[in-house]
Amino acid sequence: MANLKKQTFPVLNMHCAGCANNVEKTVRKLVGITDASVNFASNTLSVSYEMDKLTPGEIRAAVLAAGYDLIIEEDHVEERQEEEQQKRYRRLKGRVIGAWLFAIPLLLLSMVFMHVPYSNEIQMVLAIPVLVLFGTPFYTGAWKQARLGRSNMDTLVALSTSIAFLFSVFNTFFPDFWYSRGLEPHVYYEAAVVIIAFVLTGKLMEERAKGNTSTAIRKLMGLQPKIARVVRNGKEEDIPLEQLRIGDLVSVRPGEQIPVDGFLTEGDSYVDESMISGEPIPVEKKTGSHVLAGTINQKGSFIIRAEKVGSETVLARIIRMVQEAQGSKAPVQRIVDKVTGIFVPVVLGLSVLTFFIWMFFGGVDMLSHAMLSAVSVLVIACPCALGLATPTALMVGIGKAADHHILIKDAVALEQMRKVNVVVLDKTGTLTEGHPTVTGWLWAQPQEEHYKDVLLAAELKSEHPLAVAIVTALQEQEHIEPAALDSFESITGKGIKVSYQGTEYWAGSHKLLKDYHAALTDVLGEMLAQYESDSCSIIYFGRKNELLAIVAIKDQIKATSVEAVRELRTQGIDVYMLTGDGERTASSVAARLGNIQYISDAMPDDKEEFVRQLQLQGKTVAMVGDGINDSQALACADVSIAMGKGTDIAMDVAMVTLMTSDLLLLPKAFNLSRQTVRLIHQNLFWAFIYNLIGIPIAAGLLYPINGLLLNPMLASAAMAFSSVSVVLNSLRLRFYIPTDSSPCAS
Question: What angle in degrees, to the nearest 10, is found between the helix axes of 189-213 and 366-380?
Answer: 10
Instruction: Spell out the residues 6+ positions from residue 404 whose beta carbon is closer than 8 angstroms to its own.
Output: 665, 668, 672, 738
Helix, strand counts (H, E) of the chain: 26, 26
Q: How far apart are the first and last CA of the chain?
A: 44
Residue type, 540: Y
Q: Are strands 621-625 and 422-426 parallel, antiparallel or unpaired?
A: parallel
Q: How far apart are CA 368 and CA 324, in angstroms?
A: 50
Cβ atoms of 20 and 78 closer than 8 Å: no
Task: Find the angle CA(304)-CA(310)-CA(315) to the nearest 5 degrees.
Answer: 85
Could you give the strand order of the β-sheet that contains 261-267, starting from the edge strand earlier in sequence? 235-240, 227-232, 249-252, 302-308, 261-267, 290-291
Cβ atoms of 662 and 652 closer than 8 Å: no
426 is catalytic: yes
For the purposes of burial, counting CB atoms within 10 Å of the CB of 386, is it exposed (0-12), middle (13-18) or buried (19 or more)? buried
Instruction: Spell out the residues 6+ positions from residue 295 whose beta carbon is closer than 8 angstroms to its own.
Output: 257, 258, 271, 272, 273, 275, 276
CA distances from 81 to 78, 514, 707 (A): 5, 63, 49
| Candidates 426, 555, 601, 626; catalytic one | 426
What does 113-146 look like in DSSP terms, one character per residue?
STTSTTHHHHHHHHHHHIIIIISHHHHHHHHHHH
Residue type, 101: L
Q: Report the greatest alpha carbon distance in the chain.
A: 123
How many Cβ atoms sit within 10 Å of the Cβ of residue 267? Answer: 16
Helices (H), 300-448: 314-327, 331-361, 366-380, 384-403, 411-417
Closest listed residue to residue 586, CA positions, set 746, 384, 431, 419: 431
Q: How far apart are CA 131 and CA 336, in angstroms?
A: 32
Helices (H), 404-521: 411-417, 452-460, 465-471, 510-515
* Positive or negative torsion for Cα 428, 431, 435, 440: negative
Supply φ then ψ for residue 499, to 5 degrees: -120, 130
- The conformation of residue 511, written as its DSSP 8-state character, comes to H
Instruction: Spell out the residues 6+ positions from residue 506 whose beta carbon is closer than 8 angstroms to its own.
Output: 495, 496, 497, 498, 512, 516, 541, 542, 543
> Any idea which residues carry the catalytic annotation?
426
